[in-house]
Amino acid sequence: MSEKNTVNFIFELNQLKRQKHSGWRLAGVKDPYSIADHIMRSAQIGYILASMEGNANPEKVAAIMMIHENGEARIGDQTKVGAKYFSKKEPEKNAFLDQLENLSGSIADKWKEYYREIEERNTPEGIIAKDADWLETAFQAKEYMDIGYVSAIDWINNVEKALETKSAKILLEEMKKTDFTE
């Protein structure tokens, strides 16, 4: 790994601040939050969920969440409507793997494993990480609903069906009863 490649990788991460979570535009949100915003809060939710569940490493879950959307720096975000016509799963994975060529073998190897865990959900950390990803979206939906974007309820309903962990389901139920400005 060269320092130049590492610097280029770090600069590329800034694209995640510029990329908006595009699905929210379908709910009428004019200026949706960024992918970087999603990553930050989902990493913290992941840490909390892993601590609540007690069967996973919270630091590992947070690390998984910190890298899980990196490929979107290159391919952008895609709405669920767009996903009906083409899948971003392979392109996002390929972009992520290409990005890792700029990092040392030990970092790249670990991050490949983290990526696999969230995609396959075959470890406690992978399951919790995916729940954190979805739960963060539900929290954002609730915030948008509370300020008038009523169609954001669809995100909450979809997340509710997808969650696997007891802790995520408990937090979702409490979130639904709470105004985000409390």
C-alpha 62/C-alpha 141 separation (Å) is 21
Single pTM value for the model: 0.94
For residue 129, count CB atoms less than 10 angstroms from its CB and return exposed for 0-12, middle for 13-18, buried for 19 or more: buried
The answer to whether 103 and 114 are in contact (CB under 8 A) is no
Quick check: helix, strand or coil at residue 77? coil
**pLDDT of 53 above 80:** yes
The pLDDT assigned to 119 comes to: 96
For the chain, how many structural domains are there in total?
A: 1
**pLDDT of 1 above 80:** no
**pLDDT of 8 above 70:** yes
Q: What is the CATH number of the domain that holds 94?
A: 1.10.3210.10
Region for residue 76 given its phi and psi (left: phi exceeds 0; alpha: psi -120 to 50; beta: otherwise): left
The answer to whether 43 and 32 are in contact (CB under 8 A) is no
Spacing of C-alpha 142 from chain mean position: 16
Domain span including residue 159: 3-176
Question: Is residue 77 very low, low, confident or very high in pLDDT (cuts 50, 70, 90)?
Answer: confident
| Virtual torsion, Cα 67, 70, 72, 73, nearest 10 deg | 150
Residue 149, phi then psi, degrees to nearest 5: -90, 80
Of the CA atoms within 13 Å of residue 61, those in its CB half-sphere come to 30
Closest CA to 39 of 56, 60, 64, 11: 64
Least confident range of 71-85, 117-131, 159-173? 71-85
For residues 23-39, give the mean pLDDT: 94
Token pair 């909390």 in the structure block, residue: 48
Average pLDDT, the chain: 95
Tell me the two tokens of residue 146.
Answer: 């509370």
The pLDDT assigned to 84 comes to: 83
Per the DSSP assignment, residues forming a β-bridge with 20 are 34
For residues 44-52, give the mean pLDDT: 98
The answer to whether 52 and 167 are in contact (CB under 8 A) is yes
Largest pairwise CA distance in the chain: 50
Q: Is residue 181 part of a domain?
A: no
Q: Is residue 182 part of a domain?
A: no
**pLDDT of 79 above 90:** no
**pLDDT of 155 above 90:** yes
Quick: pLDDT tens for 14-27.
999 999 999 999 88
Quick check: helix, strand or coil at residue 11? helix
